[in-house]
Amino acid sequence: MNGPLSGSCHCGAVRVTIPAAPDYINDCNCSLCMTRGAIWGYSPPAAVTVAGETRNYVRADLPDPSLAKHWCAVCGTTTHWLALDPGYDRIGGNMRLFDPADYAAVEIRPVDGRSWEG
């Protein structure tokens, strides 16, 4: 599907809008992604809009964490991640916020994130 896509958390308090369906989606098996239930599509940060209050978490168990994972402050649904390096060129949006028809034709790639955890 072309054009902007909008999705929301379970309660609707946070809305995420991305410019289009991503080229691919990562399904990471690291302990955090598995417990948060997210699959990730990527967009340039300037092209993504997040509306609503989120909380975030930076992994303290990694020697050099690179991301802050965000979730809705009301219902707890994982919404997106932001790189801790402000120069990083992408934001990860949780594609489970969007209608599955919006990304049905997009390749879902398994990622072995557990191997990064040590």
Contact 69, 83 (CB under 8 A): no
84-98 pLDDT per residue, tens: 998 999 999 999 999
Percent of the chain with pLDDT strictly greater than 90: 74
Task: Quote the pTM value.
Answer: 0.89
CATH annotation of 5-113:
2.170.150.70
Q: How many CB atoms lie within 10 A of CB 49?
A: 12
Whether the predicted pLDDT of 1 surpasses 70: no
Whether the predicted pLDDT of 117 surpasses 70: no
40-86 pLDDT per residue, tens: 999 999 999 999 999 999 988 888 888 999 999 999 999 999 999 98
The residue extents of the domains of the chain are 5-113
User: For the chain, what is the mean pLDDT?
Assistant: 92
